[in-house]
Amino acid sequence: MISWPMSVNRLASSWVWSLSLSLWLWVPGPVDLPSVGGSAQTVRQAESPERALERARELIERGRLDEALRLLKALNEREPHLPGLQRTLGVAYYRKADYERAIELLERVRARHPRDYEVIQLLGLSYYALGRVQRAIPLLEKIRDLAPDQVTASYVLGMSYARAGRMDEAVRAFAHMYDVAPHSAASHLLAAKVFLQQQMEDRAEAELRRALALTPRLPMAHFMLGEIDIFKGRVRESIDEFRRELEINPGFWLAYYRLGDAYARLEMFDRAMDNLRRAIWLNASFSGPFILMGKVLLKKGDALLAASMLERGVKMDPNNASGHYLLGQAYQRLGRTKDAQREFAVARKLREEQQE
């Protein structure tokens, strides 16, 4: 995994996570409504169908999807042709992440109301969620045309283009999302960033090369190439890329940190420490250089200084299992057995929690 500044290890950013985040960003979350009172699961005898449908919509907005679906199904048995019922059922199934049923209902609604914006967007997202990007693309393109300022539409459309192999169109979609010129170096850099979040390293690398061909001194491009090199095990090549980045952007502390990491991987510990110090002097609020410095110092046999660095690192990042484990090793070498056992226990607990 490529490492990013939020922790020593890369944050998980899988396709599923990104998809879930995209859908959450698109559809408003539950709102704090007053209680609707009484049983929400059945249509009340004295209640009109229209009022029952409104009550179901309130339940959906409150996130009580199972209750809403029971109410809507009961209403569907009594009044299947009630205006808005099939649409509301489709929305409920979408919010429930039952995309197949959502599509079945919403396609029927779209056939009768082809310009219903919400139906189009939910259908596009449902097809996208199921990986059926060829079906999603024309719907998402309609959303883009109807609402050109909708940034989530540009993101989902761009990812759909990318997964369909339509890379130039993906770059244009991301450029639109970030308000940059579609054929500029910035557009390729931004596309590369998105692809890296999706763990599409080869595509990201290609976009970075295109960006540098247009603007050879583009900030961040060489740094990202260095990250890809580390991910692919090309550590020496990563050093060259980080150095190029620092020629362009000498105050970029994260490049010093990753350069120190690369040297540490090659067991060039003195050079690693020099660059980790530079990172710390530019940004003393990030735990990564302190923890990595502690690891390097343990390798060099200086447990006392290692403990000092690691203590500072885990104070900033108390949920860093590796930091606690390394601190336990430092304490163990210093003969502080109880402190070592405490840190090992913390590291073990954190790793168990991360695996759940």
What parts of the chain have a pLDDT lower than 50? 1-40
Per-residue model confidence (pLDDT) at position 44 = 57
Name residue 21's amino acid. L
Tokens standing for 30? 């539950």
Q: Is residue 59 within 8 Å of 31, Cβ to Cβ? A: no
Per-residue model confidence (pLDDT) at position 271 = 98
Q: Which domain holds residue 131?
A: 14-164
Q: Is 48 inside a domain boundary?
A: yes
Q: Is 35 inside a domain boundary?
A: yes
Which of 73, 82, 77 minimizes the C-alpha distance to 50?
A: 82
Q: Is 344 inside a domain boundary?
A: no
pLDDT in tens, 207-262: 999 999 999 999 999 999 999 999 999 999 999 999 999 999 999 999 999 999 99
Q: Does residue 314 sit in helix, strand or coil?
A: helix
CATH of the domain at 35: 1.25.40.10
Q: Is 302 inside a domain boundary?
A: no
290 phi and psi, to 5 degrees?
Answer: -65, -45
Distance of CA 305 to the CA centre of its chain: 36
Per-residue model confidence (pLDDT) at position 29 = 37
Tokens standing for 173? 């979609």
Per-residue model confidence (pLDDT) at position 148 = 84
**pTM as predicted:** 0.78
Tally of residues, the chain? 356
34 phi and psi, to 5 degrees?
Answer: -65, 160
Q: Name the domain count of the chain.
A: 1
pLDDT in tens, 76-114: 998 989 999 999 999 999 999 999 999 999 999 999 999
Which of 24, 100, 11, 99 minimizes the C-alpha distance to 63?
A: 24
C-alpha distances in angstroms, 355 versus 10, 98, 314, 341, 351?
Answer: 15, 27, 20, 21, 6
Per-residue model confidence (pLDDT) at position 16 = 38
Helix 235-248 with 221-231: angle, nearest 10 deg = 170
DSSP string for 82-133: -TTHHHHHHHHHHHTT-HHHHHHHHHHHHHH-TT-HHHHHHHHHHHHHTT-H
Per-residue model confidence (pLDDT) at position 4 = 36
DSSP string for 42-56: S--TT--HHHHHHHH
